[in-house]
A and B are shown apart, each in its own frame.
Chain A
Amino acid sequence: MLVFLVRRTLTIFATLFVLATITFFLLRVVPGGPFDSDKALPPDIKANVEAKFGLDKPLAEQYVSYLVGMARFDFGPSFRYIGRDVTEIISDTLPTSMELGLYSLALAIAIGLPLGILSAYKQNTWIDFSAMFLAVAGISLPSYFVGAILIYVFSLQLNWFPPALWEEWVHKVLPTITLGTRPAALIARLTRAALLESIRSDYVRTARAKGLSEGKVILKHALRNSLIPVITLLGPLAAYVLTGTFVIEFIFAIPGMGKYFIDAVTNRDYPLIMGVTMVFGFMLTTANLLVDLAYAIIDPRIRVR
């Protein structure tokens, strides 16, 4: 277990290092610098600005100081939001994005899991077919389309929820549903498949032979084992939800990290791009580590590997 943990943690560091390096050098080979846009600055002013942000130093030196800064969670000042540090922008916007992501994930589990169980329980009935049809439809719906429909119906026509921003709970309903739809559908499909698989196994037959009721067999015996693949799905799902936030934040004008990422890319705000990318990378790899840990705890067979 310890070896496993250490190895996984090392992989995280390797991943983050690769990500930092890729991001850094990609942004340096991009044609056009951050201060070329809009009106052209006079050359000496431009040189001054670039000197201020350390862009005039040799590439290797910039790279090293960037890595050192990152190790201290210091991504330097933003190029665009004058006077603000990237770390400060991130700590302002990250909680919003995480809140949105967690709500959506919770909603996805709350809907997907029961739907999958129901579907497996009523296998090959019209309930099963319609639930699974719904699930495939949910997977196929682009989130901006869901968002557009929800806003049109519930904000513009019915006036139940506001179409944008992130303040009171009424603001949070539509974005959460929009982001949660696809994960819910994925969870439902996987739960059904995994449950059907374990229903056919010997220990379930034993439970049935003992004369337990069908509900007890499924909920107490079969479900537990079939949760393993569902838990593994949570890693990729966390990834989807995290990166999905930037479409949702764009649609609902939510001041989260994803929205800042879009702005940063459009503005060539290098430090902000790198900061957001690294935070995303860190959260993704940590989510995967947690999933692997949960996996190893639930299923002792995994640890052997």
Chain B
Amino acid sequence: MYSQAWKRLKKHKLAMVSLGFLVVLSLIAIAAPWITNFSYFEQNADHALQSPNSTYWFGTDTLGRDLFSRLIYGARISLAVGFFTAIFSLVVGSIYGAIAGYMGGRVDSFMMRVADVLYALPSLLVTVLLMLVVGRGPLGIFLALGIVGWVGEARLVRGQVLQAREMLYVESARSLGLRPSRILFQHIFPNILGPVIVSLTFGIPQNIMAESFLSFVGLGLEPPFASWGTLANEGWRAYRTYPYLIFFPGVVLFLTILAFNFLGDGLRDALDPQMKKTG
């Protein structure tokens, strides 16, 4: 099934270009120290606020730091926050949703009532409050976004498990006397992986965006950590005279989110040919 899906995905040009872009971006982020000529914290007051030129490709900020280097180091934090938060939400949400969906009955309706209540909370505000408690570093923002984010995944997985539970292959597994945990993880999970992967692909950019919003308004990461959001926040203060300060962080963030969305669309079409027709 998955080799077929891969074949279909390969035909989706935008999705493949996006995948390539994201892979390259991740490699650049990982290899940051070997790529950049400047560190992200190195200040050089004599070179402050230089427009993009051959030494400083994307210019320098008010403290004379190289914007290109700061963006690449920012990619590390932005991508890591987006990726790990989405994984965390997915794992917690899957376990919760799978238990609810598989148990059914009272357990299910109680667990889902709880999830409904949590789902209705204003998540961005709760994230801000959580960050006050756990701190405003990458770990704090990761925890805060993750604690808020798993509920959506739980609802998705629960719906999928609920459907799968009625399938013949599950019934035969059950009649063979397999333990519920084994049925869930070995039989049901591989079959519902498609929608889960798709939602992971859409979850990552959502978290990247949420982090950048928070950092932009000054409620997210604190120095010395720099993400694309904090760069935009710093750029915002001077951008009326030096527009490139907000242009570059904005464009990089935009392209990254765009790539994730195209990839997600492509994956959805590839993993679920039924849905392709409806687009």
A residues contacting B by CB (< 8 A) are 11-12, 14-15, 18-19, 22-23, 26-27, 29-31, 123, 136-137, 139-145, 148-149, 151-152, 156, 192-193, 196-197, 200, 239, 242-243, 246-247, 250-251, 261-262, 265-266, 273, 276-277, 280-281, 284-285, 288
Cα separation A247 to B265 with both chains bound (whole Å): 27
Please determine whether B254 and A141 come into contact, CB atoms closer than 8 angstroms. Answer: yes
Please determine whether B239 and A148 come into contact, CB atoms closer than 8 angstroms. Answer: yes
Cα separation A145 to B232 with both chains bound (whole Å): 8
Please determine whether A142 and B218 come into contact, CB atoms closer than 8 angstroms. Answer: no
Cα separation A156 to B242 with both chains bound (whole Å): 12
Query: Which residues does chain A contribute within 8 Å of B124, judged by CB atoms?
Result: 243, 246
- Any A CB within 8 A of the CB of B73: no
Please determine whether A137 and B258 come into contact, CB atoms closer than 8 angstroms. Answer: yes
Please determine whether A266 and B218 come into contact, CB atoms closer than 8 angstroms. Answer: yes
User: Whose C-beta in chain A lies nearest to the C-beta of B128?
Assistant: A265
Name the contact of B122 in the complex, choosing from A27, A200, A266, A284 (C-beta under 8 A): A284
Query: Which residues does chain B contribute within 8 Å of A145, judged by CB atoms?
Result: 232, 246, 250-251, 253-254
Query: Which residues does chain B contribute within 8 Å of A29, judged by CB atoms?
Result: 133
For the complex of A and B, the 9 pairs showing the least CB-CB separation, nearest first, are A145-B250, A140-B257, A140-B258, A243-B124, A280-B122, A15-B120, A197-B278, A250-B217, A30-B132
Name the contact of A281 in the complex, choosing from B121, B217, B236, B277 (C-beta under 8 A): B121
Name the contact of A246 in the complex, choosing from B126, B217, B261 (C-beta under 8 A): B217
Query: Which residues does chain A contribute within 8 Å of B216, judged by CB atoms?
Result: 142, 144, 247, 250
Please determine whether B121 and A144 come into contact, CB atoms closer than 8 angstroms. Answer: no
Query: Which residues does chain A contribute within 8 Å of B168, judged by CB atoms?
Result: none
Query: Which residues does chain B contribute within 8 Å of A197, judged by CB atoms?
Result: 278
Please determine whether B129 and A148 come into contact, CB atoms closer than 8 angstroms. Answer: no
15 chain-A/chain-B pairs, Cβ below 8 angstroms: A11-B116, A12-B120, A14-B117, A22-B121, A23-B129, A136-B261, A140-B258, A143-B213, A145-B232, A148-B236, A246-B217, A247-B213, A247-B217, A265-B128, A277-B129
- Give residues 176-225 of B contacting A (CB, 8 Å): 205, 209, 212-213, 216-219
- Any A CB within 8 A of the CB of B130: yes
CB distance from B200 to the nearest CB of A (A): 17
Query: Which residues does chain B contribute within 8 Å of A266, judged by CB atoms?
Result: 218-219
- Any A CB within 8 A of the CB of B20: no
User: Whose C-beta in chain B lies nearest to the C-beta of A258?
Assistant: B217
Query: Which residues does chain A contribute within 8 Å of B120, judged by CB atoms?
Result: 11-12, 15, 281, 284-285, 288
Cα separation A140 to B212 with both chains bound (whole Å): 13
CB distance from B211 to the nearest CB of A (A): 11
Cα separation A243 to B232 with both chains bound (whole Å): 19
- Any A CB within 8 A of the CB of B125: yes
Query: Which residues does chain B contribute within 8 Å of A277, judged by CB atoms?
Result: 122, 125-126, 129
Cα separation A262 to B131 with both chains bound (whole Å): 13
CB distance from B75 to the nearest CB of A (A): 15
Please determine whether B122 and A142 come into contact, CB atoms closer than 8 angstroms. Answer: no
Cα separation A193 to B205 with both chains bound (whole Å): 21
- Any A CB within 8 A of the CB of B28: no
Name the contact of A196 in the complex, choosing from B117, B246, B258, B278 (C-beta under 8 A): B278
Please determine whether B261 and A140 come into contact, CB atoms closer than 8 angstroms. Answer: yes
Query: Which residues does chain B contribute within 8 Å of A23, judged by CB atoms?
Result: 129
User: Whose C-beta in chain B lies nearest to the C-beta of A139?
Assistant: B261
Please determine whether A142 and B118 come into contact, CB atoms closer than 8 angstroms. Answer: no
CB distance from B174 to the nearest CB of A (A): 26
Query: Which residues does chain A contribute within 8 Å of B254, judged by CB atoms?
Result: 137, 140-142, 145
- Any A CB within 8 A of the CB of B243: yes
Name the contact of B262 in the complex, choosing from A30, A136, A151, A276 (C-beta under 8 A): A136
User: Whose C-beta in chain B lies nearest to the C-beta of A288?
Assistant: B120
- Any A CB within 8 A of the CB of B240: yes
- Any A CB within 8 A of the CB of B279: yes
Query: Which residues does chain A contribute within 8 Å of B132, judged by CB atoms?
Result: 26-27, 30, 265
Query: Which residues does chain A contribute within 8 Å of B129, judged by CB atoms?
Result: 22-23, 26-27, 265, 273, 277
User: Whose C-beta in chain A lies nearest to the C-beta of B239?
Assistant: A148
Cα separation A31 to B132 with both chains bound (whole Å): 8
Please determine whether B121 and A18 come into contact, CB atoms closer than 8 angstroms. Answer: yes
- Give residues 42-73 of B contacting A (CB, 8 Å): none
| Given A239-B122, A243-B125; 12 other pairs, CB 8 A cutoff | A15-B121, A22-B126, A23-B129, A142-B213, A145-B246, A148-B250, A196-B279, A200-B278, A276-B125, A280-B122, A281-B121, A281-B125
User: Whose C-beta in chain B lies nearest to the C-beta of A145?
Assistant: B250
Cα separation A148 to B279 with both chains bound (whole Å): 32
Please determine whether A152 and B265 come into contact, CB atoms closer than 8 angstroms. Answer: no
Please determine whether B240 and A152 come into contact, CB atoms closer than 8 angstroms. Answer: yes
Given contacts A246-B217, A280-B122, contact A26 B117 (CB under 8 A): no
Cα separation A217 to B137 with both chains bound (whole Å): 55
Given contacts A142-B213, A156-B240, contact A261 B279 (CB under 8 A): no
Please determine whether B217 and A152 come into contact, CB atoms closer than 8 angstroms. Answer: no
